[in-house]
Structure 1
């Protein structure tokens, strides 16, 4: 005598969820295939890429260290100045915009949306594009690079600051409001102690990123070590290129160490 097992069988996903997952995977595969077709990789260049890389490395060795004191050092210091001043300028502009974007600070929807539009516009334009724009306005040099770094960083700093403010606990703020504290006191005594660790972390992290981004702005004439790198590459001075790349690598590593140590002491 046969009988059927009518016990329900557990399934992790419903039929609709499985179809949706399949559609997402299919779309991803189609996007990859479409992208590969449009990139149009030239096979001849791809096959001998390792040979070209080995030849380039041989041209770079040994690095021309005598070139560093005369040219590279000054350009490297200028790069650090661009990153530092650009970060300070970005933070000074991002703080009011970030507060405007936080709906618990400014409960006016049109102001929130306008501030968020500024933050999105800042993040959507690459630092090299900002640099091209400001080189056209201010001419080539460190000023254009500094302002480009600042405008690129506003969106990053302002967005994270607004999120930190919105996530702050309302308890201290309500207590201050109950005793009649004015609006500036709510910011300084209610919100600032809560967002201070996030603020310093965001500012330091952005400076670390800006040190990296400042290193390439010179490729479009915005000053710094990138200008020296572009010149050396245009004249095929590969031993000097190696010196510049080593200097950039060391500065990036040192910036990472400095940021880590400062965060340990401040946060």
Structure 2
């Protein structure tokens, strides 16, 4: 009986491909072990093993909740919502023209203006809002203005990236139909492109506002105003019953903002 009498067995990968795959997994495990050793080189494991007991101790100090502290939190909470709302409006206003400069089908200059617009978008997305707030507090001083500007600068990258991608995905046939009527460049933009992207624009803006509600709650930790100031003060004084109330209030605010943004996106889109 010869080898031709047996049917050939199909294999997904060749022996060489399987060897390369296993070598890749081995390198990945070795990289993980090396990264773990680097990250935990200065870790004090006695603190880590004691962490559950410390967490249980802090949790016991949070009870009973200090509900009488709620009236003092309403104004900072309102400031937080205003930081998120005004920051979102500012960020969207700046991101709208930048998105048109970044999109391939609308930019006036693919060699100069488009790279500049893309750089602004990448720079905004690369720096966290907390870092923006930390820098702005040092530049313009502590307060709500630093928080508003930080949220706005952070929002440019998010809104600009999603919006310019939506612009590039517009239907070219509608643009060509408007151009065929002899419309000017501004008219083509107004009647051929903007109507197509408006649902995406409003959906992106509302979604970013929802994200900014969450991010603005912690800006007070660096002096940028809002309920984060109260949270930082309560943590510094070890008032864990007040911390628990603040955390519950932040949770409730985020849940409500999530519900509102979902309703708005459903109504718009």
Q: How far apart, CA to CA, are the structure 2 residues paired with 1:172 and 1:19?
A: 52
Partner of 2:206: 204
Aligned pairs (5 A) from 1:68-147: 68-69=70-71, 71-106=72-107, 108-147=110-149
Change (3 A) 1:2 1:23: closer
For structure 2, the residue ranges without an aligned partner over 5 or more in a row are none
Matched, 1:154 2:156: yes
Over 3 Å off, 4+ runs? 1-28
Q: How far apart, CA to CA, are the structure 1 residues paired with 2:267 and 2:53?
A: 48
Change (3 A) 1:170 1:232: same
Q: Give aligned pairs, total.
A: 266
Using the TM superposition, give the Cα deviation of residue 110 of structure 1 relative to its aligned residue in structure 2, in angstroms: 2.6
Say which SS state the counterpart of residue 109 (structure 1) adopts: coil
Say which SS state the counterpart of residue 66 (structure 1) adopts: helix
Change (3 A) 1:223 1:110: same
Say which SS state the counterpart of residue 222 (structure 1) adopts: coil
Partner of 1:248: 250
1:96-118 CA distance string (max 9 Å, x none): 11110001001523321111111
Q: How far apart, CA to CA, are the structure 2 residues paired with 1:20 and 1:95?
A: 47
Q: What is the root-mean-square deviation of aligned Cα atoms in Å?
A: 1.8
Q: How far apart, CA to CA, are the structure 2 residues paired with 1:5 and 1:109?
A: 65
Change (3 A) 1:2 1:20: closer
Using the TM superposition, give the Cα deviation of residue 247 of structure 1 relative to its aligned residue in structure 2, in angstroms: 0.4
For structure 1, the residue ranges without an aligned partner over 5 or more in a row are none
Matched, 1:34 2:40: no
TM-score (norm 1): 0.93
Change (3 A) 1:247 1:114: same
Q: How far apart, CA to CA, are the structure 2 residues paired with 1:92 and 1:16?
A: 55
Question: Is the 1:103–1:109 Cα contact (8 Å) retained in structure 2?
Answer: no
Question: Is the 1:75–1:225 Cα contact (8 Å) retained in structure 2?
Answer: yes
Q: How far apart, CA to CA, are the structure 1 residues paired with 2:86 and 2:19?
A: 52
Using the TM superposition, give the Cα deviation of residue 30 of structure 1 relative to its aligned residue in structure 2, in angstroms: 3.1
Using the TM superposition, give the Cα deviation of residue 21 of structure 1 relative to its aligned residue in structure 2, in angstroms: 4.4
Using the TM superposition, give the Cα deviation of residue 194 of structure 1 relative to its aligned residue in structure 2, in angstroms: 1.6
Using the TM superposition, give the Cα deviation of residue 213 of structure 1 relative to its aligned residue in structure 2, in angstroms: 0.5
Using the TM superposition, give the Cα deviation of residue 37 of structure 1 relative to its aligned residue in structure 2, in angstroms: 1.1
Partner of 2:25: 25
1:166-223 CA distance string (max 9 Å, x none): 0111010001111111122222211122211211111111111100000000000000
Partner of 1:233: 235
